[in-house]
Amino acid sequence: MPRSSRLSRRVFLLIAALVTACSVLVHLPGLIAFRTDYLEHRLIDAYMATIALRAGGTLTAAQQAMLLEQAHLIGIELHSKGAALRLGAPAPVGRDILLDREPPAQRLLRTLQALFDNSRGLLRVSGIPPGEQDVWIAVTLDAVALRRAVRQNAIEALALSVAISLVTAGLVQLGLIRLLLRPVGRLTAQLAAFHADPYNTPPPPPTIRADEIGELQRSLAAMEAEVQTALKREARLAALGGAVARIHHDLKSILATVSFASARLADAADPRSRQLTELLAQSVRRAANLCARTLDLARGETPVAQRERIDLAVLCAQAATAAARPPEFQVTVDVPDGATVGGDPERLARVLGNLLANSHEAGAKQSSLTARPAATGWTIEMMDDGPGLPEAARARLFEPFVGSVKTGGNGLGLATSRDIARAHGGELELVESGPHGVCFRLTLPDHAHGKPVA
């Protein structure tokens, strides 16, 4: 059975049950009133039956028996202005009911007893007939007759309640199917189709509804569009990463040859040749860094499988030495002795190198790397005295291809740096940016039992 039909059936049964329960509660006071009216009518019938006797007439025993049978009574006892009148033989009664002195709670209890109690016996009901002040009358009747009458009334009321509840539940269900269940069923089918094939599932049709269901449909359409865009971007990045990985393997050999040749040219006596050699060496480093960044982007936040103990003092010192360009750009290092973490030293070195390279390219003259212990590991803060980041660049600072601050940048540096930090179980975040410089914080957990890199 479809899921929507199961929900529709549950809604129908729930509404029918609630309406029936409410109807029972509504009819309960009516049932109490019916019992009271039934007993009052027995008193009235007995009063009417004794009019001829009170006027001086006489009845035979057969006539008295017929009169009691027509009034559905066992016996009648009447007291009026000191005179007493009795019809029927005295009989033992199981319960005495003072009808005009019966409190509401007791009426409720005795109505329920009359409805559910199957015991047999006689009842003695006494009271003052309506419109009479000096007459007191008591009647004896069979409890079975009262129970039969009360149950008949309850069955009729229950049948009416069930019919009303079924009609009400059907009408409410039709409204719910049109307003709620059918749109929810379409949303469920759309989500199931999107889960099965998120790349090719068309978006849901537009809706003009202004209620919560319409808002849900519009939110679902927007979410599916964003997820499809992200999946396609990830697929392109994965394909790009695979291609770059193959290119990087061949390019490393080519760049190694170029680097060796540029090193030989650096010994030339011609100043112009040495200058060209330095430009060639910078181009080689940029090409190698671009390949490494693209590979890191393709890896994403995949956890580092193998780790080795890294001395943060050595790591920061090497990064500072490689990035410093004295006197125009200088880097200081402040790392306590014994500061170590578990991880991939090559990838972490690229994170620090990216931060320092960005600082230099932004125009900073002085930068620092400061390591401090944290609750679960170590933090390394990179601070500089540059001009800070533009306000528009901070919102998408860590997004690839769109987060670059400098003109002509590809936005891979900070994006891959954050991925590397998260792959180590840590985080890279912008702490502060202003006219006096920026501060980035790299948080690294202390994996005390890292596996050595093969």
In this structure, the answer to whether residues 400 and 366 fall within a common structural domain is yes
Give the residue among 162, 125, 133 at the shortest CA–CA distance from 42.
125
Instruction: Please give the residue range of the domain that contains residue 377.
Output: 300-445
The answer to whether 268 and 259 have CB atoms below 8 angstroms apart is no
Cis peptide before 452 (omega within 30 of 0): no
My answer on whether 157 and 103 are in the same domain is yes
On whether residue 396 sits in a domain, the answer given is yes
Residue 274 Cα distances to 268, 328, 382, 426, angstroms: 6, 20, 33, 42
Same domain, 30 and 151: yes
Provide the domain count of the chain: 3
User: Quick one: CA dihedral 183, 188, 194, 197, positive or negative?
Assistant: negative
Q: Same domain for 420 and 324? A: yes
Going by pLDDT thresholds of 50, 70 and 90, the confidence category of residue 403 is very low
Residues 255 and 311 in one domain: no
- Does residue 238 sit within a domain? yes
Domain boundary among 169, 204, 231: 169
Mean pLDDT of 312-340: 93
pLDDT value of residue 305 = 59
The DSSP symbol for 126 reads E
Q: What is the pLDDT of residues 251-281, one digit of tens each?
A: 666 666 666 666 666 666 566 666 666 666 6
pTM above 0.75, yes or no: no
pLDDT at 450: 41
Indicate whether 454 belongs to any domain.
no
Residues 230 and 338 occupy one common structural domain: no
- The span from the CA of 399 to the CA of 414, in Å, is 8
From 169, 201, 230, the end of a domain falls on 169
* Weakest-pLDDT range from 100-109, 129-138, 393-402: 393-402
Looking at the structure, tell me whether residues 105 and 8 fall in a common domain. Answer: yes
Helix (H, G, I), strand (E, B) or coil at 406: coil
Same domain (yes/no): 79, 40: yes
Give the CATH number, domain containing residue 435: 3.30.565.10
In a domain, 265, yes or no: yes
The DSSP letter of residue 433 is E
Q: Please compute Rg for the chain using Cα positions.
A: 47
pLDDT greater than 90 at residue 45 = no
Question: In the predicted model, what is the mean pLDDT of residues 395-417?
Answer: 69
* Residue where one domain finishes, among candidates 228, 251, 280: 280
Rounded CA-CA distance 292/251 in Å is 11
**Region of 401 on the Ramachandran plot (φ > 0 left; ψ -120 to 50 alpha; else beta):** left
- Asked whether residue 61 falls in the same domain as residue 137, the answer is yes
36 and 124 housed in the same domain:
yes
Q: What is the pLDDT of residues 151-175, one digit of tens each?
A: 998 888 888 888 888 888 788 878 7
195, part of any domain:
no
